[in-house]
Chains A and B, each alone.
Chain A
Amino acid sequence: EAQVTQNPRYLITVTGKKLTVTCSQNMNHEYMSWYRQDPGLGLRQIYYSMNVEVTDKGDVPEGYKVSRKEKRNFPLILESPSPNQTSLYFCASSFTGVGQPQHFGDGTRLSIL
C-alpha cells in the first residue's frame, strides 16, 4: 500500500530536549516536504526536498533541521524545542514537486512543555 509514515504520532516533551520526527515513503517519490498546522494559520511549509541531498527552506524553517540522505526518508529534527513549536506536523511526498499530487502522512502532534 502506498503511504507516507510518520513517527511518532504523538509526543509530549520538554523544552530543550532534542527530538526527531521520522518520515518515510514507499512510492519512490523524489519530492518530500514538512508542514506545520496551527489553528487559524493553515499549513505552513517548514522545509522541502526536491531529491536526495537537496533541501530548501520553506516559510518557517527557524528552529528546525532536515536531512535527505536516502530517497525514502526525510526526518525533521528539533535540536532545542521550544513551546512555540507545539503544533501538528505533516510530512508529504510527490513524484517531482508540488505540481504533482502530494501524499500526506497522518500527522504528528507535538507538545513542548
Chain B
Amino acid sequence: AQSVTQLDSQVPVFEEAPVELRCNYSSSVSVYLFWYVQYPNQGLQLLLKYLSGSTLVKGINGFEAEFNKSQTSFHLRKPSVHISDTAEYFCAVSKGSSNTGKLIFGQGTTLQVKP
C-alpha cells in the first residue's frame, strides 16, 4: 500500500527567505508524485507533478521539487517566499500508471510567511 508523510505540520518563515517543505512516500511500485496548494477557503490547486523523466520538476509561482527515488522523497522548495505563499500544501502519490484514479494525500503542511 502507498502512503505519504509530510514531516512538518507547520513551517513559519520570514518573507524573502528560502523554504523547504518535506514529503516522504512509501510504495512498492513506480509512482506519480504531486504537490497541491490550498489557499484559505478555497479548493486545491496543482503546483507541480512528477510523472517521469527529469527528477527536478518546476511548477507555478516559483516552486520546484526534486524526486529522490533512493530516499523516497519529493521535497518542495522555493528560494524566496512571499506573503501570498501563505497557504496549506499537500503532497500526494499515486500508482505510476497513465489511467490510475487512486490518489493518496499527506496530512498537509501549513506555510506561514511572516513580514
Nearest-CB residue, chain B, relative to A35? B105
Total A-B Cβ pairs within 8 A: 72
Report the Cα distance A101→B35, complex, angstroms: 11
Contact B45 A42, beta carbon cutoff 8 Å? no
Q: Is B29 an interface residue (CB 8 A)?
A: no
Contact A42 B108, beta carbon cutoff 8 Å? yes
Nearest-CB residue, chain B, relative to A30? B99
Q: Is A74 an interface residue (CB 8 A)?
A: no
Question: What interface size band does chain A fall in?
Answer: 20 to 34
B100 partner residues in chain A, CB cutoff 8 A: 97-99
Chain A, 40-57, contact with B by CB distance < 8 Å: what is the 0/1 string? Answer: 111111001110000010
Question: Which residues of B in the span 54-103 have a Cβ within 8 Å of any Cβ on A?
Answer: 90, 92, 94, 97-103
Chain B, 16-50, contact with A by CB distance < 8 Å: what is the 0/1 string? Answer: 00000000000000001010000000111110010
Report the Cα distance A43→B106, complex, angstroms: 7
Question: Which single member of B43, B51, B101, B106 contacts A107 (CB below 8 Å)?
Answer: B43
What is A's interface to B at a CB cutoff of 8 Å? 4, 31, 33, 35, 40-45, 48-50, 56, 58-59, 90, 92, 96-99, 101-102, 104-107
